[in-house]
Structure 1
Amino acid sequence: MDDSLPQLNRAEYTRRMNRVIDHIDRHLDGALETAELADIANFSRFHFHRIFAAWMGETIGDYVRRRRLETAAFHLSCGSQASVLEVALSTGFGSGEALARAFRQKFGCSPSAWRDGTRERLAALAAGLRQAREEANSNPDQVNGSGGQAGFLPLGEYGDSQSPNGENQMEVHVIDLPAVTIAYQRHIGPYGMSIGEFWRNTMSPWMHSHGLDSATCYGVGHDDPSITAPEKCRYDACVEVPQGFKNGGQASISTLPGGRYAVAQFKGQATTIAAAWNSLIREWLPSSGLQCDDRPLFERFSPQTALNPQTGEFTCELCVPVRAL
């Protein structure tokens, strides 16, 4: 196995490491042994720790601890009624005290204080985003638009909590969605305009070369940039593919889980989709009698109709996986 490593191209490395990262996220509440992760990646057990650290910029242990803590922080800030102990156990901490120690070390506060300070934290982030937009708009050389294939902001970049007309309501339907087989390519780095460039320069040409121009697309932002460092944020540009699809070596194949989702229709300018996500997760969800579960949140859209070139409006569905409180 070791002798074959130099012959593996970057796309193959990417697919193998994505398998490991996805497995970690799905099993944060369990034991994650290095040997098991090496087998999932089909890399040498002896060398895998070094390979992972070189690829991700942090050791396996540091990555797992960070993901457990960030997932716990997200659940505490998105309206979950679970106790601190329940959140701790669901994210791989052995006790509420262990989670509290990790929180104080990382965020300088207790898990309860983190949950109580969600509104203030988001307000500060929104103010920073507004300032960044104003600075970008004042620069005539700045490209108009801020992310996504059609210029949309990825989920997690929160703006004002209200819609552009000052209201704080949206029509949300709770429905069952089927599981979907997807091909995806992953972008690691700050959300924003680089996501749009990733769709345009990497994902869209790949879709075209595989006859997928009209297939349904999904944008999956795995991390909340109010919690995760920008350079470590993960975003998957995804397209629906048929069973048995041959990916041609560049994309990874996975399944977007089916089940119960809260689905809200978004139609508006790119700069307002962040506010729509904020309203859906921070306002509608806590009052719905539901809570977000561990499946990914995503934007679903048709690449052919998502963007109105005349008005600049972007249309998509905001999909939040939910279960009862």
Structure 2
Amino acid sequence: MEEYKKRIVTAIRYIDDHLDAELSLQKIAEVGAYSPFHFHRIFRLVTGETVQQYINRKRMERSAFYLALRKPLSLKDIYLQFGFSSHSTFTKNFKKHYGHSPSAFRKSAPENFHQIRLQESRNGQADTVFSTYLCHIENLINWTEMNLKIKVTELPEMNLAAVMSLGIAHVESSYTLLTDWAKENNLFPRENIKMVSVYHDSFKVTPPDKVRIHACMLLDKKLEKQESEIFAETIGAGKFIVGSGEVTLDDFEKSWVSLFLWMKENGYSVRKAFPFEICHTNFKEHPEGKMTVDFCIPVD
């Protein structure tokens, strides 16, 4: 099973990196070192979706993200980038997935994008609802000023050892696997160790049980080869909004929401890279369950 997971991880990373290209089952299976027939069955066993269902969902989610946060792109720019042949085809698929047309989604997104969530409707289909604010904007801004120190800064390239987690419920076990590997390689425990969570999906448009999160550890140098489920990941150098503070696990969503609001209010736009968290301390070692965290958003 470990070898299966290793190959599936490779295939998923390939899909996510090539959503704007033609993705055939033959090519993806080849990347995963399987025959198409066996790959299709194993992929579904591991992810709970067929290959095409996964590709379609990811393209819809990436389109939603671009509609909300990459305003200079036209609808045509977006639907052509993700393989839709026409405006009508894109609109039909988007509305089926989210319950809103792309234009309506984009129009509502500036104020409400951070609140979008998928809910099960009575007939079992996933609908998008623009929920009420988790708290009033004024209270959120006050919380931010009291709990996060925000700055815009250049961060260097980071070399990571990573384990893929499909679904928020599996993040803890991914970190357990990562730390066990680090102990075997005399990398853990050590002073100033930093654990990093890289979000390859957004909770804004992806259900929690399907969000892809990489549980990572910052390394002094690049990991040379994939070892079982441990693989190398690199965060490129660049400009980031960094919100730093001492928070509990329950504060994470509030921290991300407030940081994206701050980004919009200050005229920054997210660039094509993944947001991440750097955890400097362990909440299990704090009497109040707090940890020191940097929340990082890549911006232009």
TM-score range normalised by the length of the shorter chain: 0.7 to 0.9
The match for 1:296 among 274, 280, 292 is 274
Structure 1 residue corresponding to 2:171, chosen from 177, 195, 198: 195
Pick aligned residue for 1:261 from 216, 224, 240? 240
- Structure 1 286/226 Cα, relative in aligned 2: closer, same or farther at 3 Å? closer
- Contact 2:5 2:46 (C-alpha < 8 Å) held by counterparts: no
Q: Aligned partners of 1:234 and 1:54: how far apart in 2?
A: 16
Distance 2:174 2:46 in 1: 19
Residue from 266, 275, 289 that aligns with 2:254: 275
Structure 1 counterpart of 2:209? 231
| Distance in 2 between residues matched to 1:197 and 1:45, nearest whole Å | 29
Instruction: Give the number of aligned pairs.
Output: 276
**Aligned counterpart in structure 2 of residue 316 of structure 1, from 287, 293, 298:** 293
Deviation by residue 1:111-140 (Cα, 9 ceiling, x = unmatched) = 122233344575586xxxxxxxxxxxxxxx
State the Cα distance separating 1:54 from its structure 2 match: 3.1
Pairing of 1:51-200 with structure 2 (within 5 A): 51-78=42-69, 80-118=71-109, 119-120=111-112, 122=114, 160=135, 166-169=142-145, 171-189=149-167, 191=168, 195-196=171-172, 198-199=174-175
On the 8 A contact 1:185/1:236 being kept in 2, the answer is: yes
Aligned-residue offset at 1:12? 2.1
One-letter code aligned to 1:111: P
Q: Cα gap change, 1:310/1:231 in structure 2, threshold over 3 Å: closer, same or farther? A: closer
Identity among equivalent positions (%) equals: 27
Question: Cα distance, 1:266 vs. partner?
Answer: 2.7
Return closer, same or farther for 1:297/1:92 CA change in 2, 3 Å cut-off. Answer: farther
Structure scoring higher RCO (CA < 8 A, sep ≥ 6) equals 1
Render the CA deviation track for 1:212-266: whole Å, top value 9, x for unaligned: 2233221023223342233222221111232354664341223233333222213
Alpha-carbon distance in structure 2 between the residues aligned to 1:246 and 1:85: 39
Match of 2:185 in 1: 210
Q: Structure 2 length as normaliser, TM-score?
A: 0.79
Aligned equivalent of 1:138: none
- 1:206 Cα shift? 2.7
Corresponding letter in the other structure for 2:240: Y
Q: Which consecutive unaligned segments of at least 5 residues does structure 2 have?
A: 118-132
CA contact (8 A) 1:68 1:91 kept: yes
1:88 Cα offset (Å): 2.3
Alignment partners' CA distance in 2, 1:120 and 1:226:
10
Is the 2:76–2:87 Cα contact (8 Å) retained in structure 1? yes
